[in-house]
Chain A
Amino acid sequence: MIRLPPDKKDAVRIEGEEAYPDECCGFLLGTLEKDGLRNVVEILPVANARERKERHHRFHIDADDFMRAERQARSGELDIVGFYHSHPDHPAEPSEYDREHALPFYSYVIVAVSKGIARELTSWELLPDRSRFNQEY
């Protein structure tokens, strides 16, 4: 389960609107609580590393960006607890492409952006057997 404070949700929505009509993406940095809660304390936007013509329906986080985010998290005694991305003119539901590329454990926050305006924001966790996502909220 994830705890994403309202100001962090707003920040993700703004990222989604600013990237429109492309997909935005970034990291969720936070703490891992003993009860399994992923408590987000910081969002870290990064560039969508997909080629220009693919960014409207795909995102990719460059490995160098992951390495730097991991270093930043560890230096602040935080962990990478998930990722966020936007779905321009598409529901805030994970696609089959999302499922194929997701990893268990992490939270995947998705914000729907319709005609440039951020709408629904959801969070998902992939089951360990990779069969489907569970909606966290």
Chain B
Amino acid sequence: MAVTILIPTALRVFAGVQAEVTVEGDTAGRAIEAFADKFPDIRQHLFDENNALRSFVNVYIGEKNIKTVNGLDTPVRDGDALMLVPAIAGGTGAI
């Protein structure tokens, strides 16, 4: 089934400068794998050396974070949009 990957601005340079792309997959994990296969340069930003989703990358289906559903095994339906969401943090670091 066809799902749309919504790409944050920081990662678009690795995906042909596109804001969204359509891939095939029946779970969130397979859809993101298909996305990484299509744009190999983005893989290192999404997956670690064990091929697990990096801790600072969140994936949403609609308004649901897949971490609160079934992780990468969360099923997707035809026409779903998967949003990639990076973790954002910082600060002075002063004690």
Q: Kindly state whether residue A16 has any CB partner on chain B within 8 Å.
A: no
Known A63-B65, A67-B63: A102·B9 in contact at CB below 8 Å:
no
Report which of A63, A87, A102 forms a contact with B92, defined as CB distance below 8 A.
A87
Q: Which of B83, B92, B94 is packed against the most chain A CB atoms within 10 Å?
A: B92
Shortest Cβ distance from B63 into A: residue = A67
User: A72–B13 Cα gap in the complex (Å)?
Assistant: 22
Closest residue to A38 on the B side, CB-wise?
A: B9
**Distance between B59 CB and nearest chain A CB, rounded to angstroms:** 9
| Contacting residue for A66 out of B13, B86, B91, B95, CB 8 A | B86
| CB-CB under 8 A for A67 and B83, given A32-B9, A105-B10 | yes
CA distance A63 to B59 in the complex (A): 9
Q: Are B85 and A95 in contact (CB under 8 A)?
A: no
Chain A residues with CB under 8 A of B86: 66, 103
Q: Counting CB contacts under 8 A, is B16 at the interface?
A: no
**Count the A-B residue pairs with Cβ separation under 8 angstroms: how many?**
92
A104 CB contacts on chain B under 8 angstroms? 10
Asked if A58 meets B85 with Cβ closer than 8 Å, knowing A81-B9, A103-B10, the reply is no
> CB within 8 Å of A: which residues of B?
6, 8-10, 13, 19, 58, 60, 63, 65, 83, 85-95
Q: What 6 A-B pairs come out closest when comparing CB atoms?
A: A97-B93, A58-B91, A95-B93, A61-B88, A98-B90, A90-B92
Chain A residues within CB distance 8 Å of chain B: 23, 25, 32, 50, 57-61, 63-64, 66-67, 70-71, 74, 79-81, 83, 85, 87-88, 90, 94-98, 101-106, 108
Q: Can you give 11 A-B contacts (C-beta < 8 A)?
A: A59-B90, A60-B89, A63-B65, A64-B63, A67-B58, A79-B9, A85-B90, A95-B94, A101-B90, A102-B90, A105-B13
For the complex with contacts A32-B9, A87-B92, 12 further pairs of A-B residues with Cβ separation under 8 Å are A58-B90, A58-B91, A63-B58, A63-B65, A67-B58, A85-B90, A88-B92, A90-B94, A95-B91, A95-B92, A101-B87, A103-B10
